[in-house]
Amino acid sequence: MRHGNSFARRRFNQILGVLKEFSLKIVRKCEGLPLAIVAISGLLSTKNKIVSEWEKFYSSLSFELQRSPHLTSIRKIILLSYYDLPYYLKSCFLYLSIIPEDFSICRGRLIRLWIAEGFVKPERGKTLEEVAEEYLTELIRRSLVQVTKLKFGESRTRTCRVHDLILEIIVSKSEELSFCQIIEEDSSFDGQSRRLSFHNSVHNVLETIGMLRIRSCFIFKVDDQLPKPFLGTLFSKFKLLKVLDLEGAPLDDLSKDVGMLFQLRYLSIRDTKVKVLPKSIGKLYNLQNLDLKFSLVDELPIEINKLYKLRHLLAFKNNLYVNKVIDVTRGVKVHEGIGHLKKL
């Protein structure tokens, strides 16, 4: 009998230990958002203390956010915050739906994307970048965006993100408004969105999309080499593309067909293995941002000098030597005439 009680106590303590682990995971999911912690703890108090039930709740937290009356208060308050935004901030806030969960985006990248999309309105006496910086500061002040890293030695934002629960809500709102669609392994195109954000996987969804519909395309956390048909389809079908962000993509060649994207304002091959820019880059007369940082490009074609609307040209790489002790910054070779690009 005593042996049976001892076993029951051990079993009980094991269950409590597992439930505690799931409690901590759920709290981490809340990331210090008081409203989320209170609402979710209230919902958990209605659950039986059964491991499988808590595990199921944690796995389906996104679905529970939509379904459970205990959590609708979070959704209502976040949506109220969204509706309270001035019109020029609504698109900027929804734009954060392009990024994956637990992903921080660089301030400069986000600001340049906003400008390329046309979200930033000119103000007298300020550059577009300064206005966009004010937009971001306002979203941070409203607690809709979190600062994840500051610039070294400054109080200026370096990277930022949105809380996972907020992200789930704005992704839902974004898809409802056909603002952007997240494409994952089993996704299919909804037929309406003008922006596509690929997460973790690139598959043949482009084949199902009609000509000219897509205006912006992003790739995040894709490890497998991009298939050539993917970029071929992208360049041939979506000739009105304004934003093409391939940062960090497993890419080692940029086809000359990129020159067909006459409306392109933003092109990033940052942190890819691309070595050469095709001469057709000179046809991108509307290009405002060209990001080659940390790529393998070491010389700019002379055709770059034709891009009179170019505002940002990022092109350097840090080479580490002597057991990563010495940090050497390597630039790129440019041709005579680049000084004619007055908007840089």
Whole-Å CA distances, 87 to 90, 141, 169:
5, 17, 18
Look at 33-42, 46-55, 142-151, 258-267 and tell me which has the smallest mean pLDDT.
33-42
Residue 44 Ramachandran class (φ > 0 left, ψ -120 to 50 alpha, else beta): alpha
Of 111, 129, 161, the residue that ends a domain is 161
Check pLDDT > 90 for residue 230.
Answer: no
Do 26 and 97 fall within a single domain? no
- Can you tell me the distance from the alpha carbon of 143 to that of 135, in angstroms, rounded to the nearest whole number? 13
Same domain assignment for residues 106 and 155: yes
pLDDT reading at 37 higher than 90: no
Rounded to an integer, the average pLDDT of 222-226 is 79
Model confidence at 78, pLDDT cuts 50, 70, 90, reads confident
Q: Is residue 51 domain-shared with residue 142, that is, in the same domain?
A: no
Q: Quote the pLDDT of residue 225.
A: 77
Q: Tell me how far apart the alpha carbons of residues 316 and 294 are, in angstroms, rounded to a whole number.
A: 6
Q: Identify the domain containing residue 111 by its residue range.
A: 85-161
110 and 23, same domain (yes or no): no
In a domain, residue 43? The reply is yes
pLDDT in tens, 152-173: 766 778 899 988 878 888 998 9
pLDDT-based confidence at 326, cuts 50/70/90? low
Instruction: Supply the pLDDT for residue 220.
Output: 92
Decide if 210 is inside a domain. Answer: yes
Question: Are 206 and 328 found together in one domain?
Answer: yes
- Looking at the structure, tell me whether residues 283 and 242 fall in a common domain: yes
CB 307 within 8 A of CB 284: yes
User: What's residue 288's pLDDT?
Assistant: 96
pLDDT score, position 218: 94
Based on the fold, state whether residues 99 and 151 are members of the same structural domain: yes
Number of domains composing the chain:
3
CA 145 to chain centre: 13
Q: Is position 76 within any domain?
A: no
Distances (CA, A) of 334 to 223, 249, 252: 31, 25, 21
Q: Does 71 map to a domain?
A: no
**Rounded Cα–Cα distance for residues 341 and 288 (Å):** 11
- Give the whole-angstrom CA distance, residue 269 versus residue 258: 12
Q: What is the mean pLDDT of the segment spanning 224-239?
A: 82
Q: Are residue 315 and residue 199 in the same domain, yes or no?
A: yes
For 234, other C-beta atoms within 10 Å of its C-beta total 23
Q: What is the pLDDT of residue 212?
A: 62
